[in-house]
Chain A
Amino acid sequence: MFGEQLVNGLALGSIYALTAIGFTMVYGIIRLINFAHGDIFMIGAFFALSSVTLFNAPLIVAFLVGMAGASIVGILLSRLAYKPLFDAPRINLFLAAIGAAILFENFAMLVWGPQTNTFPVLIDMHNYSILGLKFTTLQVIILVCTIIFMILLHLLVNKTKVGIAMRCTAQDMNTARLMGINTDRMVYVTFAIGSSLGAAAGILVGMYYQAVYPMMGFMTGLKAFVAAVLGGIGSIPGAMLGGLVLGISESLGAAYISSGFRDGIAFIILILILLIKPSGILGKVTQEKV
């Protein structure tokens, strides 16, 4: 049972990690806890679902549609709702995020209805045994997708000019501007990346739990937020690590303590981390941006 729960935790943790990256990158660049991020995760899953149910799209295409659609939604969100408030107090931005979250949820209910949709399984299910642990095809897909996305993200952020410019913008926006960087554009790029990874996570969750519904982003969004804080908000490797730690603790906790306790574990971890190391596992002691 331990092995099974570990694998389950890894899969869940990968999904949290993919979602947490959007939180952490957006926080890193504009110091906003983007509470609409969980809903972008949901919208991405719906886009992918619709591409399958309406157009019989193959899985890869469904992923591309979901991720591209979500990044457009992310860019529009940042451009229309957040950009006018960049110079306002952070609380205004935060309220805009909550407003956007409610808007997205209602939009989804209107377009796709409030019911839970099953995501048609488009793959043959097998069981694999790797290093003595048993994986289902879906779990392998989740892990492989996550690893690929993480590697791509790492290369993008650390090796490309746009990626380095994004990091500059996150570190010191005014100085980034003095380099000739269009920092607004960097913010949009950040939203696009975070949203597309969130959408990928949403699609994977939809497949894993066979459920796509308008409120699906709420709990996962909160958990991903916990994962981002756990790893050190603003840190991309932190979000990855935080997601995995959270996913594994949740699975093991649900198995060995009580399954009714599953969702509580995330918040116990959040409280512990805030008490013991508020900057998170990989977080630096943050200086407030002025």
Chain B
Amino acid sequence: MLEVKNLNAHYGAIHALKGISFTVNKGEIVTLIGSNGAGKSTTLNSISGLIKNRKGSIKFEDEEIIKCRTDEIVKRGIVQVPEGRRIFAELTVEENLKMGAYLRNDSDGVKKDMKKVFDMFPRLAERKTQLGGTLSGGEQQMLAIARALLSKPKLLMLDEPSMGLAPIIVEQIFAFIKEMNEKDGLTILLVEQNANMALSIAHRGYVLETGNIVLSDTAEKLRTDDEVRKAYLGEG
């Protein structure tokens, strides 16, 4: 479904991605793990078209999208939940969700999906008219995911959904991610520093180190890999 080949990204003189290649197949959860500054967010932002200085090939459903603008990429069905959630602080919960559905014209469908995410996250339903900026971190993460779901993604990319959240909330969020994948068949590209959690729900994974992919395997194999355990699972 997504095929990234020899992707390079630059910030001025910084060469942040040095020709990475990976794929995400339909129906999979694929995780991209790596430590601070490895280039995980840069990868997602390059796919989303937020980083203009990018080269290589990004194919989505067999079409080249590396030249596309961000809104065109979203229209094709690649939706990102950015690092730090990026809720619109001065918009209400409901307005945030409406912006998720910005490109949709089927108002009945949007209403239905709105109801669906409110059933999924009852906390958000209770806080419909509250400003986004006043939500707790966990609620903001739920809102960020709900907002992304309202744009009807084909591929959902999540950038560190566990960041700054209490372990119990992290578990809830990961349970949602798994459920969306299993129940609705949603394809997911999950970026995480919390490698343990990510590998526990993913099918496959890639390990990113300073702009290079150094390892790739099934999630199960990565979890038992000595290198990975030492470097990312805090073991050994």
Q: Please give the residue numbers on chain A whose beta carbons come within 8 Å of chain B beta carbons, in ascending order.
A: 87, 161, 164-165, 167-168, 171-172, 174-183
Contact of A171 with B88 at beta-carbon distance under 8 Å, contacts A164-B98, A178-B80, A179-B99 already known: yes
Q: Is the CB of A172 within 8 A of B86?
A: yes
With a cutoff of 8 Å between Cβ atoms, the chain B residues found around residue A177 in the complex are 48-50, 69-71, 74
With a cutoff of 8 Å between Cβ atoms, the chain B residues found around residue A182 in the complex are 69, 71
With a cutoff of 8 Å between Cβ atoms, the chain A residues found around residue B82 in the complex are 174-175, 178
The docked-state distance in angstroms from the alpha carbon of A175 to that of B90 is 13
Q: Is B195 an interface residue (CB 8 A)?
A: no
Q: Is the CB of B88 within 8 A of A178?
A: no
Interface bits B46-57 vs A (CB < 8 Å: 1, else 0): 001110100000
Within 8 A of A (CB), among B73-103: 74-75, 79-80, 82, 86, 88-91, 95, 98-100, 102-103
- Name A's interface SS: helix
Q: Is B151 an interface residue (CB 8 A)?
A: yes
The docked-state distance in angstroms from the alpha carbon of A261 to that of B14 is 55
Starting from the known contacts A164-B98, A167-B91, A179-B100, 14 additional A-B residue pairs (CB-CB under 8 Å) come to: A161-B98, A161-B102, A167-B88, A168-B88, A171-B89, A172-B86, A175-B88, A177-B49, A177-B69, A177-B70, A178-B50, A178-B79, A179-B102, A182-B69
Q: Is the CB of A178 within 8 A of B70?
A: yes
The docked-state distance in angstroms from the alpha carbon of A249 to that of B75 is 51
The docked-state distance in angstroms from the alpha carbon of A183 to that of B71 is 9
Distance (whole angstroms) from the CB of A156 to the closest CB of chain B: 15
Q: Please give the residue numbers on chain B whose beta carbons come within 8 Å of chain A beta carbons, in ascending order.
A: 48-50, 52, 69-71, 74-75, 79-80, 82, 86, 88-91, 95, 98-100, 102-103, 147, 151
Distance (whole angstroms) from the CB of B132 to the closest CB of chain A: 10
The docked-state distance in angstroms from the alpha carbon of A164 to that of B151 is 16
Distance (whole angstroms) from the CB of B210 to the closest CB of chain A: 23
A and B contact pairs by CB, cutoff 8 A, 27 listed: A161-B102, A164-B91, A164-B95, A168-B88, A168-B99, A171-B88, A171-B89, A171-B91, A174-B50, A175-B82, A175-B88, A176-B99, A177-B48, A177-B49, A177-B74, A178-B70, A178-B79, A178-B80, A178-B86, A179-B74, A179-B102, A179-B147, A180-B103, A180-B151, A181-B99, A182-B69, A183-B71
Q: Is the CB of B90 within 8 A of A171?
A: yes
With a cutoff of 8 Å between Cβ atoms, the chain A residues found around residue B71 in the complex are 177, 180-183
Distance (whole angstroms) from the CB of B157 to the closest CB of chain A: 10
Q: Is the CB of A164 within 8 A of B99?
A: yes
The docked-state distance in angstroms from the alpha carbon of A161 to that of B103 is 10
- Which residue of A167, A179, A181 is within 8 Å of B90 (Cβ)? A167
The docked-state distance in angstroms from the alpha carbon of A271 to that of B91 is 32
With a cutoff of 8 Å between Cβ atoms, the chain A residues found around residue B90 in the complex are 167, 171
Q: Which residue of A lies closest to B86 (CB)?
A: A175
Q: Which residue of B lies closest to A185 (CB)?
A: B71
With a cutoff of 8 Å between Cβ atoms, the chain A residues found around residue B70 in the complex are 177-178, 180
The docked-state distance in angstroms from the alpha carbon of A248 to that of B106 is 49
With a cutoff of 8 Å between Cβ atoms, the chain A residues found around residue B52 in the complex are 87
Most chain A CB inside 10 Å of its own CB: which residue of B69, B71, B90: B71
With a cutoff of 8 Å between Cβ atoms, the chain A residues found around residue B50 in the complex are 174, 177-178
